[in-house]
Amino acid sequence: MRIDIVSIFPEFFGVLDISLMGKARRQGLLDVAVHDLRDFTHDRHRTVDDTPYGGGAGMVMRPEPWGEALDHVFGDAATPENTTMIVPSPAGTPFTQAVARELALEPHLVFTCGRYEGIDQRVVDHAASRVTVREISLGDYVLNGGEVAVTAMIEAIGRLVPGVVGNPASLSEESHEDGLLEYPSYTKPATWRGLDVPPVLLGGNHGAISAWRHEQQIERTRRVRPDLLD
């Protein structure tokens, strides 16, 4: 999978050089390129924003640098079938595990990190004439820009790419994979500060363990996220 990120804070994505994402990049499973939007400006101050038409607080990201940056990232080969541009936005559709699974099947993802009051709408509209565009929200709260959201999305998507996670079986036992929250986990010692590991987990009866874990998933989901059971 090829991932391109455009941001005025490219250094923000150094986190993608470490841990599982870094290993996947070194293995060639993920090809990630980060682009500085200011490299596509032509004035002395490398200006990326301007005042909003219609007035209002804050600034809007200018379309020209974005247009040139996306021209560079899309190249001549990008089509709606092979390239998906993801625009993080509080006005987007919710980012869920199901969306992560969909996007993990795409060959090329382009993430556009807005700042200020957002990106001139014409950038999104023009890109939609060239590639698939999805405006996606990390959650119902307000961030200062797209970078935090893009980092979270790339981790959630990247870990689903075959080969990135060592034991694929672990992916199927996580929260939200089967519509339920995950069961509680324990490791040694069997007793810690007077607290015991549930005996069923020590008995080696795999059928009983599996049944207990499913019961725990149902109980935890009913208690914490009853909405998932609707």
Ligand X SMILES: N#Cc1c(-c2ccc3cc[nH]c3c2)n[nH]c1N
| Shortest distance in whole angstroms from residue 50 CB to ligand X | 15
| Shortest distance in whole angstroms from residue 67 CB to ligand X | 18
| Shortest distance in whole angstroms from residue 9 CB to ligand X | 12
186 assigned binding-site residue: no
Contact 111, 154 (CB under 8 A): yes
| Shortest distance in whole angstroms from residue 167 CB to ligand X | 30
- Interface with ligand X in residues 90-129 (CB under 6 A): 90, 114-115, 118
| Shortest distance in whole angstroms from residue 49 CB to ligand X | 11
Closer Cβ to ligand X, 140 or 227, answer by number:
140
Which of 3, 64, 69, 11 lies closest to 31 in space, CA to CA?
3
14 assigned binding-site residue: no
139 assigned binding-site residue: yes
- Per-residue 3-state assignment (H helix, E strand, C coil) for 95-161: CCHHHHHHHCCCCEEEEECCCCCCECHHHHHHHCCCCEEEEEECCCCCCCCCHHHHHHHHHHHHCCC
Name the CA dihedral angle for 33, 36, 37, 43, rounded to a multiple of 10 degrees.
Answer: -150
**In this chain, which of 41, 83, 89, 217 binds ligand X, going by CB under 6 A?**
89
197 assigned binding-site residue: no
202 assigned binding-site residue: no
How many residues of this chain interact with ligand X, rule: CB under 6 A?
16
140 assigned binding-site residue: yes
Contact 61, 41 (CB under 8 A): no
Residue 77 lies near ligand X (rule: CB under 6 A): no
Residue 22 lies near ligand X (rule: CB under 6 A): no
141 assigned binding-site residue: yes
Contact 103, 157 (CB under 8 A): yes
Closer Cβ to ligand X, 111 or 183, answer by number:
111
- Interface with ligand X in residues 147-186 (CB under 6 A): 149
Residue 141 lies near ligand X (rule: CB under 6 A): yes
Q: Which residues contact ligand X (rule: CB under 6 A)?
A: 88-90, 114-115, 118, 137-139, 141-146, 149
| Binding-site annotation, residues for S-adenosyl-L-methionine | 114, 138-143
